[in-house]
């Protein structure tokens, strides 16, 4: 058996994907050690990032950087920064997770009703 904590952390990656996919305005901000990046997902499920040190430059193609280890690192970083949209959450990750799980549950109910 491989590392159990990593195995369990892998469950969080789909939540991050869903959050970024749900709305083109959804974003996360991460510090990659050189710059703060604002990461978003396009409708085509590709990632792009704006370098906040140079906001006037075109967005960076970021899909290749969104590896599993990098995404786990991003999630860990989000667990240690304050929320952005709803200040009552303990961290940005709890905010992202809660918004995503609630929205996905609501959409599942709508989808099930529509399929009938």
CB of 82 within 8 A of CB of 90? no
Model pLDDT, residue 75: 98
Model pLDDT, residue 74: 98
Report how far Cα 32 is from the mean position of its chain's Cα atoms.
15
Cα distance from N-terminal residue to C-terminal residue, the chain? 42
CA-CA distances (angstroms) from residue 70 to 65, 73, 106, 115?
Answer: 7, 5, 29, 37
pTM of the prediction? Answer: 0.92
Residue corresponding to tokens 């075109």: 58
Model pLDDT, residue 115: 76
* Positions of the chain with pLDDT under 70: none
Q: Domain range spanning residue 62?
A: 4-115
The structural domain count of the chain equals 1
């Amino acid at each position: 058996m491989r590392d159990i904590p990593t195995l369990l952390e892998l469950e969080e990656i789909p939540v991050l994907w869903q959050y970024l996919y749900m709305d083109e305005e959804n974003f996360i901000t991460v510090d990659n050690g050189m710059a703060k990046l604002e990461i978003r997902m396009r409708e085509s499920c590709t990632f792009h990032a704006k370098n906040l040190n140079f906001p006037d430059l075109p967005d960076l193609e970021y899909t290749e950087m969104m590896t599993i280890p990098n995404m786990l690192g991003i999630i860990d970083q989000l667990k240690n920064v304050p929320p952005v949209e709803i200040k009552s959450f303990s961290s940005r990750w709890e905010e992202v997770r809660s918004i995503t799980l609630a929205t996905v549950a609501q959409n599942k109910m709508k989808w099930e009703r529509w399929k009938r």
